[in-house]
Each structure stands twice: as structure tokens, then as C-alpha cells.
Amino acid sequence: MELILKEDIDNLGFKDEIVIVKNGFGRNYLIPSGKAVLATDSAKKILAENLKQQSKKNQKLVKEAQKLADSILKIDLKIPAKVGEGDKLFGSITSKDLSDGLSKKGMDLNKKYIIIPGRNIKRLGSYQATLRLHKDVVVKYPFEITAEAKKKEKSK
């Protein structure tokens, strides 16, 4: 079933994109919830006209997203985490932790636009996350997970 998306949907596509999905997913979820419409010939013509009008606005958005990407790539992010035996972490590091770390450095980025390999990290080391800033601007962001400094206990 061919549909035109009305909003960005994770792991499927971006707004105003024509996608092919299974009939049940389209009929039972996307269309009733208003997230997509059927891609008929008339709907495709309307979409083409809208995209033509939006192309100039889109170029400006791409430039802004690219500037944001450049400024984020300049940030050297080290996320401190509690460590157990060896290099295993207590808990795990997720896209929310990476988003929070970037926020502390002055770059607010929604966690849904951050993709961490394996969805979470459970060991110390250097990793790369994929940041989706715009449908045309996707960057690989390197970051490091370090051991949290242990607090010295005062003995009496």
C-alpha cells in the first residue's frame, strides 16, 4: 500500500514522503490516526506542488541543520558512568543520557533523533551515535564513556 506521510515516523520515513507499507499497518494505524493518507494520483500531484513550494524553505532548514551538526561535532563529550568489575557499567547509557550530556554543553537535541548502536551501551569506551538533524543531514557523532570519579569516604 502506497501512502503519503503527514508527519515524521521513526523507522518509516519523513513528512511528505511516499512510502510503501503493509495494508494492515496503513489501514489500521497510519490512516485512522492521521499520520498518512493514500497516495492517489491527485494526492501525488498536490504533494509535488507543495514540495516545489517548500524547496526554498527546505534549503534554509538544511543549512541551519548543517551549522548545528558542525557545532555539535566540535563538542568533545565524555559521559561519566558508575563502573563495576572490569569495564562493565552499572545500568546502561542510552540516547537520553547522550541528549542530556549535549544539553549540558549547550546543544539541545531531542533524544528521538539520536540513534545509539544496540540502543544502549553497557561498557566503557569510545562509541559513535547517529544524529538525525534533518532528513538530509545525518551525522556520526563520536563520544566516550568514562568511569565516574569515586568519592572518598570520610572515616571517623
Q: List pLDDT tens digits, range 68-110.
A: 888 888 888 888 888 887 778 888 888 888 888 888 888 788 8
pTM: 0.60
Residues 82 and 143 grouped into a single domain: yes
Looking at 14, 39, 61, the residue that finishes a domain is 61
For the chain, what is the domain count?
2
- Residues 55, 102 share a domain: no
Is residue 156's pLDDT more than 60? no
Band of pLDDT at residue 151, cut at 50, 70 and 90: low
Does residue 53 share a domain with residue 18? Answer: yes
| Residue in the block written with cell 563495576 | 84
Average pLDDT, the chain: 84
Structural domain boundaries enclosing 11: 2-61
